[in-house]
Chains A and B, each alone.
Chain A
Amino acid sequence: MPEAPAEVQVYGIRHHGPGSARAVRAALAEFGPDAVLIEGPPEADPIVELAADPGMVPPVALLAYSPDDGAGRRAAFWPFAEFSPEWQAIRHGLAAGIPVRFCDLPAAHQFVPVEGEEEEPEAQQDIRLDPLGTLAEAAGYDDAERWWDDVVEHRDGGPSPFPAIAEAMAELRERLPLESLPAGYRRREEQREAHMRRTLRRTLKEGHRRVAVVCGAWHVPAVQAKVPAAQDDRLLRGLPKAKVALTWVPWTHGRLAGRSGYGAGVRSPGWYHHLFTAPDRPIERWLTAAARALREEDLHVSSAHVIEAVRLAETLAALRGRPLAGLDEVTEATRAVLCEGADLPVRLIDRNLVVGERLGAVPDATPMVPLQRDLQAEQRRLRLKPSALGKEQELDLRRPTDLDRSRLLHRLRLLGVDWGVPGDGGRAKGTFKETWTLVWRPEFDVELIEAGAWGTTVHGAATARAESLAAEAAALPDLTAVAERCLLADLGGALPAVMDALADRAAVDTDVAHLMAALPALVRALRYGDVRGTPTGPLRAVVDGLAVRVCVGLPPAAANLDDDAARRFLEHVDDVHGALSLLGDDEHTERWRRALAALLDRPGLHGLLEGRLARLLLDAGRLPDVADRMARAVSVGAAPGRAAAWVEGFLSGGGLVLVHDDALLRLIDGWIAGLPAGSFTDVLPLLRRTFGGYAAAERRAIGERVRHLDAPSPARAGEGDDDTDPGRAAPAAATALRILGWEVPA
C-alpha cells in the first residue's frame, strides 16, 4: 500500500505572543500532527513530559547549566509563559500523546562560543531579534506588538496567518544584507538552522507522517529550504561541546520582560496573559479588574466608572482605526475615567496588572540538584513558601520553628542566595527578634545550582562555604564577621575551623586597632549564642585571648595619634568598652579598667582620648581626683585645641547624660563656677563648641537642671533625716548595682 507523502507544517511565531499562541493552538488542532518540533535545546527532550504535570504552572523556564564548577560556568534560559506559543505547542503535543522534541542546536554546543560571536552591530541585532517589528515598521506602525495585535490577535477565525508570515520572512531575509553580519554570528545561525533541518529529517525518517515545527518566524524559510543532508552534516560535524545539564525552574512575569535565550522580551506580560486567558470581552474584564485593584487601595471606583471607561476605550479604538481596543486605549481610559486624570493610580495598575507579577511552579519530579531538593524539603518543613512579591516576616527566636527559619535564611545568605534580607533595628529591639524581607527571585535557582558544588544539603554546603571564607579572609574583622554569621546560621561544624583561623590571625596581628574592631562582633556573637542555644565554647576562648591582647597592646597603640586617628581610636575604645560591659566578665572588666588607668597617666596622650578615659574611669568610680584633672586639662598651660578636645572627650555621649547624671552636672557646674574670671573667657568657646553639638531640647533641659541645682530637689530633701530602712533596701540596691555592672557592696 503506497504511503501518503509526509506533510510538514512550519509555524513562524513571535515568542511570547498571545496571538501567535492562539494561532498555533488552532493550527495544531486543525492539522493534527503526529510529532511536534519546537525551537529549544534538544537536551530537554527527556524532561519535556514534565510540562504535562499538573504541578507545572507557567511562567517556567528551561534552564541549561554546566554542572561542573570552574571558570567556564554558564547558564541559559528558555522561558515559557501560559501565552507562549511554544508552551501551547508542548501542551498540545503532550495532551495528544505524540512526541514533542526540541530542534535547536544543543545547548552543549551553544555554550562554547564561536569566535567573533560577541561583536554584532546593533541594527542587525534588532532585525534579527524582532523581525516582526521590522515588518510592523514597514506597515507604518511604531509598535510591533500593536501591529501584531491588529493583524493576528484581533482577527476572529479566518485563515491561518502562518503562510503569510513565512512569505514575509522569506522576503525579509532576502533583503537583509547577510554579509554585513559578523562571521561568527552568521556561522552560529547556520548551525542552528542546520540542526533544525536535521532534526526534522530524522523525525521524518522515524516514520512520522505529519510533523509540525514551531519556531521563531525568522527561521521559517531556513527550515523549509531544501538543503542536502550531507551539507548540514558537514556544518555540524566536530562542533566543540561543553557538559550541560537541563532542568525546569520557576520563572516570573517580571523576568519575561527582559531579554532571554529567546531574544526580545515582552513589556506587558500581565496584559498578554489576560488576553490569552480571558474567555470573552477582554476589555470589560480588564477594566473591571483594574477597578478592583484600585478599590483594594481604597480608591473609590464604581461600576459606573467601569462602564464609562469601556465606552471611552472602544470609542478611542474606533477613532484610531483599530479593530479592538488595545493596551494603549485601555490605559488611556483607565487614566481619564477610573483614575480621574491622576498618574499615581495608573502606575499602580501598571505594576499590578500590566506586568502582573506572578511566580511559576515546577512539579516535584523535576530534576534538581540535591541542594535544591534539600532546600525544598526545608521550606516545606518550616512552612516558608517562596513568593515573587516582597513579604515582611518577623521571627521570634524563642520559638523553635522561627529559630530554624532564621538559621535557614542565614545559611542561604552564606551561600549567596539572598532570599531573605534582614531588616535593621532587630538588634536594637532585643536579641530574640529578627525581621526579614523575603523575595524569591528565579536566579536563585541558578545560584543554588552553582552552590551545589559546596555540598548536597543547605547545612553542609553552608558549612563548607564558611570554612572556605575563613581560609580566604584577609583581615581579622572579616574573620569575626564570618564567625558571627556561622553562629547566626548555627553552623557548629564550621566553627572550629573558623576559630582556629581567628586565633592564628589574632596571634600574629600586631595592630591593636584590628583586634579592637574584631572584639565587639565576637562578644555579640557570644550573646547571640546564648539566645540561640549555640555551643560557644571555642568562641569564648578566642574572646578571652583577644581581650587580654587588647589590654596589653592598648598603651603603645594610643601614643602619638593625630586628630583623625584619635577619633577613630576613640570609637574603638568605646566599642570595646561596650562589648566588655555586655560580656559582664569581672576579670576582663577589671583588666580593662587597669589598662585605661595606666593609659590615662601616660604623657602625650591625645586630649580627646584623655578626656574620654577620665570620664570612663569616673563612671567606674576609679578617679578620685577628677576635679583637679579637669582644672589641669583646661588651665593656661594647655593648648586651646587640646583643652577643647579634652572637654569634648569628657562630655561625649550626648547631652542627655548631663540631664540625668546629677553628680556629673554638679561637678561641671562647680568647675565652671570656680574658674577665675580670666580663664572663664578662655574656656567659654571650648565649652560652647561641645555644647553646641547637643540638640536644642537637650541644651534647654540641661539649663533647667542647672537652675534647680542649688535648690534642694524634693527627692533629696529628706536626706538628713530619712526614714529609709537600709536593711530592707539592701537587696534592691544590690540587684540594681549588679544590673549596672558595678561591684556588689560586701
Chain B
Amino acid sequence: MTDASVLRPHAEQQYADELALLAEHDDRPRPPGWRLSPWAVTTYLLGGELPGGQVVSPKYIGPRRLMEVAVATLATDRALLLLGVPGTAKTWVSEHLAAAVGGDSTLLVQGTAGTSEEAVRYGWNYARLLAEGPSEQALVESPLMRAMRRGTVARIEELTRMPSDVQDTLITILSEKTLPVPELNTEVQARKGFTVIATANDRDRGVNELSSALRRRFNTVVLPLPDSVDDEVDIVARRVGQLGKALELPEAPAGLAEIRRVVTVFRELRGGMSEDGRTKLKSPSGTLSTAEAISVITSGLALAAHFGDGVLRAADVAGGIVGAVVQDPVSDRVVWQEYLETVVRERPEWRDFYRACREVS
C-alpha cells in the first residue's frame, strides 16, 4: 500500500516486485525469521538474473565479498557493523539488507548525541504510568524491542554518535538476546531472526568510540569508496535516475559525460592527484563522497529542467560542485582555485566547465 505521493518510499516498497520475484524463485533453505535465503539476499543486493529471465537490479556496486560477509554475518545471528567514510552507502546497504532479510527496514534508531536510553530500550507513556502504575500498556517500545519481539532486523544509524552509556545498553541485547524490564519484573526475549545492523562513520571515529565489549559483539565490514571511475559513474548515474523519478523532475537526459566530469573532479580532489597521475593536488576538507556527487548532479538536473534548456550543462553543476568542495571558505577556496587553474584549465574539452566555474566562484 505504497502512497504514490511519498517523497521517498522504503526499500521494501520500492523494490517490492523484485523481492517477491526472488522469494518465488528461492528454493534454498532460509534461516529462521528470514524472508529470503542468504543467496537470494546476496542476489538482491548485487543484482543478477533469475531463472525465469527477470533481472534484479544491483543495489550495491562494489566488491562482492563485502556483501557476502555482511549476509553471512547476519545468518550467524551476529550483529553487523558497517564502517566507512560518509557517503559510502552504509545506510543504503543497511536499509536494503533489512528489507531483504526481514521485509521491514523501518525499525530504526537514529544515533545522535541526544539519543537516550529510552530510544534504545523502552520508554513510558507517563499519563498511563501515573494513572495505572507500571503495566505492559504503559510501556512504549523502542524499535529495537519491537524487532526482538518480531524476530526481525533492527537498524541503528550512526552508532558512534550515541553517548557511550547508551551504546552499552546494547551489550546485553546483543549477547544474551534479551531485554529485561525490571519495573514489570519481566523481559523480552528475542525471537529467532532478530539481529542488528549498525552504521558508523570512521572518519570522525572517536566521537564516542565503541567500548571493546560492544565492539566484539559486532562483525565489522568496512565499505570502501568506489575503486574505479567507471564504478562511481555507474553508481551516480543509477541513483540520479532513481531520484529523478522519485522527485518527478522533468525528463532531462542526464548526460553521462557531465556525470563523468563531476565524478572525475571529486575523485581527483579526494585522491590528491590528477587522473593521469601527473599533477599533485591539495585535498579539501570535505569528504567529497559519491553521495555528494549524486546530490550535485540531482540539483544540477533540477536547475537544467526548470531554468535551463532541459539539458544538463556545465553551468548547472558548477554551483553544486563549488558548494561541495569549498566547505571552509579560506583554505578550501585556495584548493579549488589551484585545481581550477592547474588542472581544469589545461583540459581543452573542459573549457565550458572552466568558464562556468569561474563565474560562480
CB B325 to nearest CB in A, in angstroms, measures 28
B202-242 interface code vs A (CB 8 A; 1 in, 0 out): 00000000001001101111100000000000000000000
Q: When the two chains form their complex, are residues A319 and B216 in contact, meaning their CB atoms are under 8 A apart?
A: no
Q: When the two chains form their complex, are residues B81 and A341 in contact, meaning their CB atoms are under 8 A apart?
A: yes
Say which residue of B68, B78, B81, B218 sits within 8 Å of A316 (CB atoms): B68
**Count the B residues whose beta carbon is within 8 Å of the partner chain — how many?**
22
> Which chain A residues lie closer than 8 Å to B221 at the CB level?
336, 341
**Count the A residues whose beta carbon is within 8 Å of the partner chain — how many?**
21
Q: When the two chains form their complex, are residues B216 and A302 in contact, meaning their CB atoms are under 8 A apart?
A: yes
B82 to chain A: closest residue by CB: A341
Assuming the contacts A341-B81, A341-B222, asked whether A332 and B69 have C-beta atoms less than 8 A apart, the reply is yes
Q: When the two chains form their complex, are residues B219 and A308 in contact, meaning their CB atoms are under 8 A apart?
A: yes
Q: When the two chains form their complex, are residues B38 and A312 in contact, meaning their CB atoms are under 8 A apart?
A: no
A294-326 interface code vs B (CB 8 A; 1 in, 0 out): 000000101011001001100110111000000
Q: When the two chains form their complex, are residues A312 and B78 in contact, meaning their CB atoms are under 8 A apart?
A: yes
Q: When the two chains form their complex, are residues A320 and B78 in contact, meaning their CB atoms are under 8 A apart?
A: no
Q: When the two chains form their complex, are residues A308 and B78 in contact, meaning their CB atoms are under 8 A apart?
A: yes
> Which chain B residues lie closer than 8 Å to A662 at the CB level?
none
In the complex the two chains form, what is the Cα distance from A312 to B73 in whole Å? 6
Q: When the two chains form their complex, are residues A319 and B220 in contact, meaning their CB atoms are under 8 A apart?
A: no
Give chain A's interface residues, CB within 8 Å of chain B. 300, 302, 304-305, 308, 311-312, 315-316, 318-320, 328, 332-333, 335-337, 340-341, 343
Q: List 23 A-B contacts (CB under 8 A).
A: A304-B216, A308-B219, A311-B76, A311-B78, A312-B72, A312-B76, A315-B72, A315-B73, A315-B75, A315-B76, A316-B68, A318-B72, A319-B72, A319-B75, A328-B65, A336-B69, A336-B221, A337-B220, A340-B216, A340-B218, A341-B83, A341-B221, A343-B222
In the complex the two chains form, what is the Cα distance from A308 to B219 in whole Å? 8
Q: When the two chains form their complex, are residues A336 and B39 in contact, meaning their CB atoms are under 8 A apart?
A: no
Q: When the two chains form their complex, are residues B69 and A316 in contact, meaning their CB atoms are under 8 A apart?
A: yes
> Which chain B residues lie closer than 8 Å to A316 at the CB level?
68-69, 72
Say which residue of B38, B83, B218 sits within 8 Å of A319 (CB atoms): B38
In the complex the two chains form, what is the Cα distance from A300 to B222 in whole Å? 19
Say which residue of A304, A332, A340, A341 sits within 8 Å of B65 (CB atoms): A332
Q: When the two chains form their complex, are residues A312 and B69 in contact, meaning their CB atoms are under 8 A apart?
A: yes
A308 to chain B: closest residue by CB: B78
Q: When the two chains form their complex, are residues A340 and B215 in contact, meaning their CB atoms are under 8 A apart?
A: yes
What secondary structure prevails in chain A residues at the interface with B?
helix
CB of B71 within 8 A of chain A?
yes
CB A319 to nearest CB in B, in angstroms, measures 5
In the complex the two chains form, what is the Cα distance from A333 to B83 in whole Å? 16
CB of B42 within 8 A of chain A?
yes
> Which chain B residues lie closer than 8 Å to A328 at the CB level?
65
In the complex the two chains form, what is the Cα distance from A194 to B222 in whole Å? 55
> Which chain B residues lie closer than 8 Å to A333 at the CB level?
69
Q: When the two chains form their complex, are residues A336 and B38 in contact, meaning their CB atoms are under 8 A apart?
A: no
CB A601 to nearest CB in B, in angstroms, measures 54
CB A21 to nearest CB in B, in angstroms, measures 28
The 3 nearest A-B residue pairs measured at CB? A341-B220, A315-B72, A316-B72
CB A334 to nearest CB in B, in angstroms, measures 11
Assuming the contacts A305-B216, A341-B83, A341-B221, asked whether A320 and B73 have C-beta atoms less than 8 A apart, the reply is no
In the complex the two chains form, what is the Cα distance from A312 to B72 in whole Å? 6
> Which chain B residues lie closer than 8 Å to A335 at the CB level?
69, 220
CB A388 to nearest CB in B, in angstroms, measures 32
* Most chain B Cβ neighbours within 10 Å, of A304, A312, A340, A343: A340
B64 to chain A: closest residue by CB: A320
In the complex the two chains form, what is the Cα distance from A565 to B84 in whole Å? 57
In the complex the two chains form, what is the Cα distance from A315 to B216 in whole Å? 18
B77 to chain A: closest residue by CB: A311
> Which chain A residues lie closer than 8 Å to B78 at the CB level?
308, 311-312
CB B79 to nearest CB in A, in angstroms, measures 10
Q: When the two chains form their complex, are residues B220 and A340 in contact, meaning their CB atoms are under 8 A apart?
A: yes
A313 to chain B: closest residue by CB: B72
In the complex the two chains form, what is the Cα distance from A731 to B83 in whole Å? 74
In the complex the two chains form, what is the Cα distance from A265 to B76 in whole Å? 36
Assuming the contacts A312-B78, A336-B220, A341-B83, asked whether A319 and B68 have C-beta atoms less than 8 A apart, the reply is yes
In the complex the two chains form, what is the Cα distance from A319 to B29 in whole Å? 11
> Which chain A residues lie closer than 8 Å to B220 at the CB level?
335-337, 340-341
CB B218 to nearest CB in A, in angstroms, measures 8
A320 to chain B: closest residue by CB: B68
B29 to chain A: closest residue by CB: A318
> Which chain B residues lie closer than 8 Å to A343 at the CB level?
222
In the complex the two chains form, what is the Cα distance from A316 to B69 in whole Å? 6
- Extra 8 A-B pairs, beta carbons < 8 Å, given A315-B73, A336-B219: A308-B78, A308-B219, A312-B73, A312-B76, A315-B76, A319-B42, A333-B69, A337-B220
In the complex the two chains form, what is the Cα distance from A340 to B198 in whole Å? 14
> Which chain A residues lie closer than 8 Å to B222 at the CB level?
341, 343
CB B190 to nearest CB in A, in angstroms, measures 17
In the complex the two chains form, what is the Cα distance from A633 to B212 in whole Å? 71
* Most chain A Cβ neighbours within 10 Å, of B39, B81, B215, B219: B219
> Which chain A residues lie closer than 8 Å to B75 at the CB level?
315, 319
> Which chain B residues lie closer than 8 Å to A304 at the CB level?
216
* Most chain A Cβ neighbours within 10 Å, of B39, B72, B75, B83: B72
> Which chain A residues lie closer than 8 Å to B39 at the CB level?
319
> Which chain B residues lie closer than 8 Å to A311 at the CB level?
76, 78
CB A714 to nearest CB in B, in angstroms, measures 51
In the complex the two chains form, what is the Cα distance from A308 to B73 in whole Å? 9
In the complex the two chains form, what is the Cα distance from A305 to B219 in whole Å? 9
> Which chain B residues lie closer than 8 Å to A300 at the CB level?
212
B64-99 interface code vs A (CB 8 A; 1 in, 0 out): 010011011101101001010000000000000000
In the complex the two chains form, what is the Cα distance from A662 to B320 in whole Å? 66
CB A234 to nearest CB in B, in angstroms, measures 55
Of residues 110 through 128 on chain B, the ones whose CB sits less than 8 Å from some CB of chain A are: none
A340 to chain B: closest residue by CB: B220
In the complex the two chains form, what is the Cα distance from A312 to B38 in whole Å? 13
Assuming the contacts A316-B68, A336-B219, A337-B219, asked whether A308 and B76 have C-beta atoms less than 8 A apart, the reply is yes
B67 to chain A: closest residue by CB: A319
Say which residue of A302, A312, A320 sits within 8 Å of B219 (CB atoms): A312
